[in-house]
Each structure stands twice: as C-alpha cells, then as structure tokens.
Structure 1
Amino acid sequence: MSPESRTFIEEARRAQIIECAIDVLAERGYAHTTLAKIARRARISTGVISYHFGGKTQLIQAVVAEVAKLATDLMIPRILAQPTAAEGLRAYIESNLDFMRLHRKPLLALVEIVTHATGQDGDPHPYARQAETSVTDLEKLLDWGRSSGEFRDFDSRSMAIAIRGAIDAVPGHLLNDPGFDLDRLASELVTTFTLATRRHS
C-alpha cells in the first residue's frame, strides 16, 4: 500500500505499531522481538501488523526509516542554518549526539537492528541503505567545504566514513555508561574533525 493511498487512520495505526516495535526492540532486544510481543504492546492482533507491514522484515525497515526521519528532522534545519561548511560540520556532529541524548529508545532500537538483524533471502541488511545515505549526505557537506575553499583537499568519501565511524561508535558507550558526557565528546569530535578538514595556511 503506497503512502498516498493510506487513510489518516491507517497512517495513525502504522505509527502506533512502529512506536511499539521501537519500545520492544529497545527493551527486549532484536532476538526477542516478535510480532506477537509488538501486537500485545499495541493491543492489537498480529494480523493487523501483517496487514499494514506484511511481516517482521518490512516492519523493521519501517522502524529504520522512522528513526532516520527523527534524526534528519533534528539535524537538517541546524545544518542548513549555518553560514559556512565548517559551521555546518560542527552542527552535523553536535546534532547527531543531541539525537542520541533526546531519543534513547529509538537509538537503542536502531542499535539492536544494526547489530543483530540480517537480510532475508539474499536481501541487503535492513540498515544498509540508510548507512549509505548517511555517508553520501555527509560527503555533500564535505564537498561544500572543499569547493568553497574552507576545507583542504581530501577524499570526501574517506573522510565521511571516518566521521561516521566516530559517531557510530558512541551508542555502544552509551549502553555501558548511560551517563556518558556527550557534550564533552561532541566538543572533542568537533575539534578533531575541524583540524582534520581545515585548509592549512
């Protein structure tokens, strides 16, 4: 069913199921997340989930898309408000960590999917497309700085992978230390990648 053909009620039901799936993933882990447990949380039958999503694989893909939307809705306005690429990179890093602070359950759900989900019947991993989008979007920001002369000449994809690698390592630390100082880490990451990207005089 395409988004354009769904009624308001259908969209609301889908949102409810996705929210319950996020809760179960965050609380029980991927291996123990079943349609039955999600249905109990949502107080519906598993048939309702199957009607809206088809199965667990499609629901997991919808969860990935929802968490990505939460992140981009937070990040994009902050990045686009910056006058320079260097400030845009700072906003990119800070808003990524702000997302982790503000949306712990969706973050934990995504970590479970990234860590434990597998593609079905040769399909790519449920997070594979979003992971690639994250890198290519960051490449565009880095290309902006290179073309404006703010950044030194480097391979944008390699730098994007390095930055994403640093950011993607953070959730694992949060799982072990929920009180981890994200503000201090954000400051260090901004300093590190400002030095790594800037044009030397």
Structure 2
Amino acid sequence: MSGPPAIAAGLPAAFNVSIVGGPAGPANYTVKYYITGSDLTGGLPLQSNPTTATGTNRTVRVNVTAPMKDQTITLVVQVSAGAGGAVENTSVEQTIVVVTPIVLSATFHNGGSTAAVNVTVRFLVDDVAVGTKTLPKIGANQDATATFNYLPAGLTPGTHTVRIEADLDGNGVIDPARGESVVSQLFYKGTPPLSTGWTVLIGIGVFIPAFLVTVAMRRRGRP
C-alpha cells in the first residue's frame, strides 16, 4: 500500500493498494477498507460502514477522509481473492498522521517596469524544503502572494523558522545581487491539540527592478 504518511485534518486523501499473489489463474478481488482512531468525527470510511470495491484489477485506489482532530489513525485494508473455487484472504494496515495544516503565505512586490513570469517560490521550515509553488505572473509595480499548506507532521512544539524564496530564473539558487528575494519569519508551534488552522504571513519581499529588466530582455532575445 502506498500513499501519503500525513494528511490534513478533515480533507480527503488517496492510497493505492497493489495485490500480489493469491489463487492461481484470473481472480476476482473484493477489497474492503476503513479507518480506526481515537476520535473519528468527520472521518470516512468507518469500521461500522466500510467501503467495498470488487473487480479483477490488481491495483485498487482507496479514498479516505481524515477526521477533524489531530491524531494518528490506521487505514485497514482487507482483500479477498477468489479463483476456480479457491479463496484466499489477507489484510494490510498503514499508519497515517492527521494534522492541522499551517498556511504559509508570502507577498512579493515587483518594483520593475516589466512583468516577471513563472516565478518559482520555495517554502522551507527549519531549513528543510517542504514544498514549492509557481507564481504565473507578477505585473510591473504589482504584488503577488504565494501560499502553501504545510503539514507539520513530527514538528515539535516550540519556535521554528519559515523561509520563503522567490527564484526568478528557476536555477535553484537565490542570488540577492541579481534581484532574487528571500523572506523569513519565526513562528511558534503550541502543544496539541490545535483547534483551528494556523496562518503564517510573511512580509513583502521586493525584487530589484534592474534584474527584472535584464530577465525580460533575455527572454525577448530567445528564439
């Protein structure tokens, strides 16, 4: 079984179950699955009403909805395979961390006279990359905001650093001398449970206009 190790509270997620072995010859499969946990309010499917899928496909997509409360749940998948009168049964379980997302958000300002397009924005927590977004366009003398839902699975209570980088040329290196921008801020993670989602808003990062003009000229010169 493959799928994300952590999912956002109250949101859906998908897992793939690959069936290997079983009776010889073409088989019919019955896959039954549900979640278990300490507080399953808002979560699906439950053991009292599991979801069942049947067919001959050896790969089955399993869809679940996470409970509303932060916790660790278990996804239980039971498989029955029948062929030529023979029936074999097996089961597999996967532990999943349910956590309230932290919304990381930063606003960048283009101080140049030309637009910046396809700006890669990287999100790092405690110097570890957690995700990327692309800003399709930041108009001349305009702002654009990049937002990322970060799942803080395993993040210990205490003070942490979020760093958000705007990479204009997409080469993976932030060079302030060339106008590329970095913004950072500290945030504090309290002790669970957390009743609502958090939002970490970062101040405005300003691009250097000269770099934007240079980039625009390069792009116009390309075939």
Q: If each structure's strand is expressed as a fraction of its own residues, which one has the higher value?
A: 2
Common topology (TM > 0.5): no
Q: TM-score, normalised by structure 1?
A: 0.31
Q: Highest Rg: 1 or 2?
A: 2
Q: TM-score, normalised by structure 2?
A: 0.29
